[in-house]
Amino acid sequence: QVQLQESGPGLVKPSETLSLTCTVSDGAISGNYWSWIRRPPGKGLEWIGYIYYSGSTVYNPSLKSRVTISVDASKNQFSLKLSSVTAADTAVYYCAKGGEGFDYWGQGTLVTVSS
Amino acid sequence: SYELTQPPSVSVSPGQTARITCSGDALPNQYAYWYQQKPAQAPVLLVSKGNERPSGIPARFSGSRSGTTVTLTISGVQAEDEADYYCQSADSSGVYSLFGGGTKLTVL
């Protein structure tokens, strides 16, 4: 059973950078794809992007200019950075296992963008 | 831009069959996945690659495809099935993932 846990600030100021980390249960990072997905209040799920354990990435074209996903396999972690945030980036952010088809998810963390 | 289209809501009585559709031009060539999300919980994968059920998912959940439409069928709906349901697939290039807008299932 793969376990994932998001961590990071719950409040980010407009124009700043949102940073989240996902910690994966031991040994699970290698050989897999890892994704970030969000759900804004009152809206549906939005795929942000994924990273392969080796470091290659694919981002949602609508967010590509602001997104960076990285991986630290030695720490069993992968991370999300979203720059120049606005209120529209307020959402519950999930990390998940998979690049297409997400079979394990973190519990999610609410990030609010507000001054 | 490419979209997956779901009905916003579906209502069904307990014991009946619910069918939730998802339409997209690339669906004949891309795998489809279905998720259930209940309030304050993370989504759960119900159906993988069109019609495969992960371990632990009840047999009353099934997936199918006809042309550019995929369907999640819930047989013998139970009160606990009331939730939001999302389809997910890739665009025609197979590179970018996307979700449908979601369907709220109400059990009357």
Average pLDDT (B53-81) is 97
Tell me which DSSP letter residue B39 carries.
T
Judge whether residue A12 has pLDDT over 90. Answer: yes
**Predicted local confidence at residue A32, as pLDDT:** 93
Q: How many CB atoms are located within 10 Å of the residue B101 CB?
A: 16
CA distances from A43 to A115, B12, B86 (A): 22, 23, 12
Average pLDDT (B76-91) is 97
**Predicted local confidence at residue B53, as pLDDT:** 96
Nearest Cα neighbor of A37 from B88, B7, B57, B49 is B88
Tokens of A4: 């994932």
Model confidence band, residue B92 (pLDDT cutoffs 50, 70, 90): very high
Q: Does A103 lie at the interface with B, CB-CB under 8 angstroms?
A: yes
**Predicted local confidence at residue B30, as pLDDT:** 96
Residue A20, strand partner residues:
A80
Model confidence band, residue B1 (pLDDT cutoffs 50, 70, 90): confident
**Predicted local confidence at residue A26, as pLDDT:** 72
Interval A33-68: pLDDT, tens: 999 999 999 999 999 999 999 999 999 999 999 999
Interval A69-101: pLDDT, tens: 999 999 999 999 999 999 999 999 999 999 889
Judge whether residue B22 has pLDDT over 90. Answer: yes
Judge whether residue B50 has pLDDT over 90. Answer: no
Judge whether residue A27 has pLDDT over 80. Answer: no
- Residue B101 and residue A44: Cβ atoms within 8 Å? yes
Identify the closest residue of chain A to B33 by CA–CA distance.
A101
Which of B89, B97, B99 would you mutate first to test chain A, the one with the most A CBs within 10 A? B97
| CA A54 centroid distance within chain | 17
Contacts of A61 in chain B (CB under 8 A): 1, 96
Average pLDDT (B71-100) is 97
Contacts of A103 in chain B (CB under 8 A): 45, 48, 54
Identify the closest residue of chain B to A4 by CA–CA distance.
B42
Q: Does B100 lie at the interface with A, CB-CB under 8 angstroms?
A: yes
